[in-house]
Structure formats: structure tokens, C-alpha cells
Amino acid sequence: MRRSLRWPVLLGSAVHLTAAAAPPPRVTVSGGIVEGRIADDGARIFRGIPYAAPPLGPRRWRGPLPVHGWHGVRAAREPAPACLQNEYGWNARDAAHASEDCLTLDVRTPGARGKRPVMVWIHGGSNRAGSARGTVDSRITAQGIVLVAVQYRLGIFGFLAHRGAAAEAGGHAGNYGLMDQIAALRWVRANIAAFGGDPANVTIFGESAGSQDVSLLLAAPAARGLFSKAILESGTPGFGMPFRPFGEALALGDQAARLLGTRDIASLRRAPAAALLAADRKLHDPVITPPGSVWNDDMVWLRTQIDGAVLPRSPAQLLRDAPPRPVILGSNVAEFGPAEGAFDLDTALRAGFGVQADAAAPLYRAPDPRRGGPLLALSTDLIFTCPVDRLARQLAGQGWPVWRYRFDLAKDGGRSSHGSELPYLFDGLAIGTRPALLQRLWTDFARTGAPGAAWPRFTATTARGVQFDAAGLHAVLFTTPAPCRYRSAW
């Protein structure tokens, strides 16, 4: 994501000269001393700080261990390798600079003194790609917060459940990427005060797979007490897919073992990383891929796994028992979907709505142009809009403080597709006549637990929220969308 600089030239030059004259910032953290750099706006940036031991060799498919210490001063100025991943085009840079030794995080802070709200970003990428790269280039910290961006194991390395690993761990396996995120939050609690952050005021936020992971951390018993608020951008538990029971997760592990020609976990831990990546591309989940389904094997690691440890029960059940925390959640009006004509609309309707397909069909014959063609509109509803609606109503019905949004804005003037809100958040683009509006609302929420008086709270009875569009921000009523009534489970 491109970051642009918008400071006046003279002020920027003065800050640059001051920063150049100052010594590089150093902070003592778990493991040793790290040395970062001073950005041209005066912020302190630290990259590639280890928060856990490298998950290499015999540590593959095990929970993260405490970070290994180091001697002397560790340079923390350059981007660390991403976690291992296949290349899918959009992530070519991350795939080219990747390693299994990747459990690191980045920090950007206005300064070491103070007690600022902390925002921990969990990146997206279908839980199989992406990285923290570039996040801490954002000047969002000028709003008075400390920003942390986390990397976690991906794909087959981060989410595979193998019978051998389960036998070692008391019958539990998989969701190592979620374990990594919990380990990173523990690191934040132990270390963020040294960066001027308040360990008692931590907000986790993410987009797409990162948003789903945020929702799962809200549910996970092991993550309780590690953060106080959450922001979910276009992602919920499972993205509308049925949760994957542990037996099906183990069957997926069996499939990976067959592809690699071995059954025992020790052999898999010795397998070349390239062979594991190649097997990852071939994994198939028949539950989510009937003909015409908007879900496909690209989403195999987005199907939430009930591993018995991080997620001992389904997220819906765990959230019923979780302590209420303030939450912002929402989605965009035209997220993503298959190319129009990729498969027959009637087939897709039957895959999505079953016996209710005929009732839902009129909603997609000629959708609102803002929502795109029939398959895009259908995909957005099944994967995003309806799961967000259900989660918002569940949390609000349990008394959680919930603020809901709909995003209908794209900086190129086109449709508001998946991730369209990110430049408004990290680059501070104006919405209507208000610069950095999304940035200020998110950081106000991190500071106080509410995004401001102009944004009404979503409750089970009022169902109000806001829409972001070319005119700015305005209140809207969120009645349950019609298609969400035609599918019983999300």
C-alpha cells in the first residue's frame, strides 16, 4: 500500500534536520535491546522485533515459545521477512522476501514517553499471504497512538492440523497463526510501555482475514485480558462458511500428508518448505466448493477450525461467554466475487441459499449498480454483508457496545471494493470535506471506547450506524438485508 507524504515542505525539512541530528532510538524489550530509526515527522519506527522463538525444524506445527535473547544491540530499521507463502500476484513482494523465521512485529510511536493508546494491526491475505510490511509507514500515530503491526504463520505452516501434532499436544492441533497473534499480544502487554504505549488500553484491528482473526481473538479464551477493544473491517468468523470441526481439520492434514508422501509428523517437519508450499496449493475442501459456490479453495484457511485449544468450541458459542468489549465492525458495498459469467447465477443461488434460492433470486437479477453485477452482489452478501449483520446483532443483543458502518467510497471513484477503506485509514485521505476522518474515528475509538457523538451506537432495538460515502459520514438504519433472511446459518 502506497504511503504518501503531505507535510508542508518547510516544516518537513525542519523535522528532517532535527531527526537526522538525533541518535537512533533504542529500547530494551524481551530478548535484548533494539535500535530503530527516526522518521521525518519525528516518529520512532522499529521493524522486525522478534516476539517469539523461530518456529523452525522441530518447532513446526507447535505453539510459539518465548523469544530467544540476543547480545548487543539488534538493528530494527529494515522490514523483516514475511512469513512463508505462495505467490498469488498481489503478494509478489512478500513471497519473494519470506522466511519460516518470521514471528516479528513492527512498532511506530510518537515517542517513548507517555501512556498512549495502542493499536495492534493484524494483516489480511486469506490467512495464506501478506505481511506487516509498510503498515508502520502510516502517519496514523500523529493522532496520538502507538501502532503495532504483527506477522503470524500462514497457510499450511500456520493452520494445518496433523494427527501427529495432535498426539503430541493432548489431542489438539492447528490454528498456530492464531497462537502467534496471542503471543504477540502478550509481548505487547509486557513491552509496549517502553514505547510510550499503555498496556491497559490496547485495540486490535484488522481487515479481511485480519478482521476474521480479530473476531476469533474476541472469542478465544486465551486472548482475554490482552486487549480491550476491537475493530473488524470486512471479516467475521468463517466468512459465512460452516465452521470446520476437528475431524475435518485432521482430514485436511491427512490430505497434505498424502500429497507429501508421508504420514508421520517428524518427516513433515523435515520436508523442504518449497514442497509444503506446493502441497498447500493443492489442498481441497469439498464442503465449501460445490458447483457454483462463491467459496473456493483459495479460502481454505479462512474456514474457521475448531481445534479444541485456541477455539475449544465454535466462535458463536465462545462469544456468548466472552466478556463484552467495545467493537466497530462493517463491510464495503461491493467487496469481491467471481467474474461475471464464471458460473450460472441460478447454480450459485442454489449453492448459497439452498431451498430458498427461488425466493432470493429477484434480489440479484438486476442489483444496484453500486453493488456490481449479480455474482459480485451475491458474493458480497454471502461472504460479508450477512455474516457482519449476524455478528453485529449477536454482540449487540448480548449488550456489547457495538458501532456498525457501511463503506461506499473508493479513491478512484469506482465501486467500494475489498480494502477500499485502507487508504482512508492509513493515508488519511479525506472523506467528503473532512481530512483523515476515518483515521480520527478509529483512533478516538482506541482512546475512549467510542468513535464520537456523530456515530450512533448499534443496538438490538435501534440498529443504527453510519455510512461513509462521497458526501461524508451520515447515520443510517441497518435493517436485516433481505438475502440474510434466506440463509439459516452464517
Domain ranges across the chain: 9-486
pLDDT of residue 137: 98
Please state, as a whole number, how many other Cβ atoms lie within 10 Å of the Cβ of residue 9. Answer: 8
Tell me how far CA of residue 15 lies from CA of 18, 40, 114, in angstroms: 5, 6, 20
pLDDT of residue 22: 82
Tell me how far CA of residue 41 lies from CA of 2, 24, 83, 211, 227, in angstroms: 17, 14, 29, 29, 28
Whether the CB-CB separation of 443 and 143 falls below 8 Å is answered with: yes
pLDDT of residue 490: 52
pLDDT of residue 21: 66
Tell me how far CA of residue 460 lies from CA of 66, 321, 487, in angstroms: 42, 18, 20
- The alpha helices in 220-245, defined as continuous H runs, are none
- How many Cα neighbours within 13 Å face the side chain of 45? 24
What DSSP designation does 224 have? T
C-alpha cell at 333: 458495498
Sequential DSSP letters for 117-179: EEEEEE--STTTS--STTGGGSGGGGGT-EEEEE----HHHHH---HHHHHHTTS----HHHH
β-bridge pairing 146-150 and 104-109: antiparallel
Q: Give phi and psi for 267, each to the nearest 5.
A: -65, -40
pLDDT of residue 412: 80
Residue whose C-alpha cell is 474457521: 304
Q: Report the predicted TM-score, pTM, of the whole model to 2 decimal places.
A: 0.94
Query: CA 37, CA 24: separation in Å to the nearest integer?
Result: 5
Q: Give phi and psi for 251, each to the nearest 5.
A: -65, -35
Q: Tens-of-pLDDT digits for all 490 residues of the chain?
A: 433 333 333 334 444 444 456 899 999 999 999 999 999 999 999 999 999 999 999 999 999 999 999 999 999 999 999 999 999 999 999 999 999 999 999 999 999 999 999 999 999 999 999 999 999 999 999 999 999 999 999 999 999 999 999 999 999 999 999 999 999 999 999 999 999 999 999 999 999 999 999 999 999 999 999 999 999 999 999 999 999 999 999 999 999 999 999 989 999 999 999 999 999 999 999 999 999 999 999 999 999 999 999 999 999 999 999 999 999 999 999 999 999 999 999 999 999 999 999 999 999 999 899 999 999 999 999 999 999 999 999 999 999 999 999 999 998 888 999 999 999 999 999 999 999 999 999 999 999 999 999 999 999 899 999 999 999 999 999 999 989 998 866 5
Give the helix, strand, coil percentages of the chain, each rounded to 5.
40, 20, 45
pLDDT of residue 489: 60
Q: Which CATH architecture has domain 9-486?
A: 3-Layer(aba) Sandwich (3.40)
